[in-house]
Amino acid sequence: MAGAAVPAAGEAIKFLTMTPSFAASVAAIGFVGGLLSGFLGSGGAFIMTPAMMSLGIPGIMAVGANITHKFGKAIMGSKKHGEFGNVDKKMGLVMFLALFAGVQVAVGVSNGILHKMGQAGSNLYISAMFVVILTGVSIFMARDISRIRKGIPPKEGGFADKLKNLNLPPMIYFKVANVRTSLWLALAVAFATGFLAGTIGVGGFVGVPAMIYILGVPTYVAAGTELFLAIFSGMQGAFLYSLYGYVDLRIVLLLYAGSLIGLTLGAIGTRVVRGFQIKLVMTSIIVFVAVSRLMMVPVYLNDLGRLALSASAHHSIALASDLCLYASGLGGSAIILFWMFQAYRRGTALKTQVSDNKVSAS
């Protein structure tokens, strides 16, 4: 089998027909991603790129839509965090040049792979990145959850602590975050965050933990500062992917429509659900998304002519991947909404009880 045809810049978007069902599916993806982002605090959009790819949207277009949609959300989120004093703008301004470099390199690599290996090669590259990154994040979070359940205090003296205490000049002090760290560490975190954002459409779910554990930034400041940085990475990513013709504004607007509703509900959920439950849901979803992308690797290798799969095997693997992906997103969203409903019922019952007690007392 010959390699996949190489599309010219912008050619990949021509196949997209915006049927009502397709539009509803994209909006639903935005809702789930927004709900998870609001509920988890940051990074829920990691499910949106794979979900769009499962709809048949080329991976590079899914990344372009995700990072463009992230740009608008980052402006609103950064503004809200800024009102609470959670944004270290000095840190953001120091890091944004390395962030820009990361996005620039990522988009250049993705575009080069698309033109050299075609859509299947591009999808394979993006999926492989998801598998590597999400597997690492899930292992880290699973260990964290295990320690919490066993009542074990956070481990000290590990690799992250050694990096955090690295005294590599020049050192720089960030007042809002109240940390003094090496400029090179800050730039390395920014480059990695930008590279991931440019490659898979979202970098915050790695950037935020990196700020916390490597730079020593408080959690709330890390979340706010990452959103501030996401304005720059989203702006540059949107520009570069649009320049190559890989951004379909119809998809972006549908993602916005769904995610704004989801974000509102998710933010409410954080007030009524314990942090341990939040981590458990996030870890479970990350694992399933990583598995779904891993399952698609042989499919893309087949499309590249590097592996021979029968038509039935090709279809079965792709279907199993889709089921795994959608089950994680829809299942996680259902659990979140159920917990919110339970909290609402408990609150209503408590108010009724208080009201009845007042009536009885009078």
CB atoms within 10 A of CB 13: 17
Locate 316 and state its tokens.
């079965």
pLDDT of residue 16: 64
Q: pTM higher than 0.85 for the full model?
A: no
pLDDT at residue 12 in the model: 46
Query: Rg of the chain's alpha carbons, rounded to an integer?
Result: 22
Length of the chain: 362
Res 169: pLDDT: 84
Query: How confident is the prediction along the chain (362 residues), in pLDDT tens digits per residue?
Result: 333 344 444 444 445 677 888 999 999 998 888 887 766 655 567 889 999 999 989 999 999 999 998 887 778 777 776 777 878 889 988 998 999 999 999 999 999 999 999 999 999 999 999 999 999 888 887 887 777 777 766 555 455 566 667 778 899 999 988 888 899 999 999 999 999 999 998 887 788 888 888 888 887 788 788 888 888 898 999 999 999 989 999 999 999 888 888 877 776 665 666 656 667 777 888 899 999 999 999 999 999 999 999 999 999 999 999 999 999 888 888 887 887 788 778 778 777 877 767 667 66
Distance CA 145, CA 163 (A): 23
* Tokens describing residue 67: 């990072």
Give yes or no for a contact between 38 and 264, defined as CB atoms under 8 angstroms apart: yes
Q: Are the beta carbons of 132 and 222 closer than 8 angstroms?
A: no
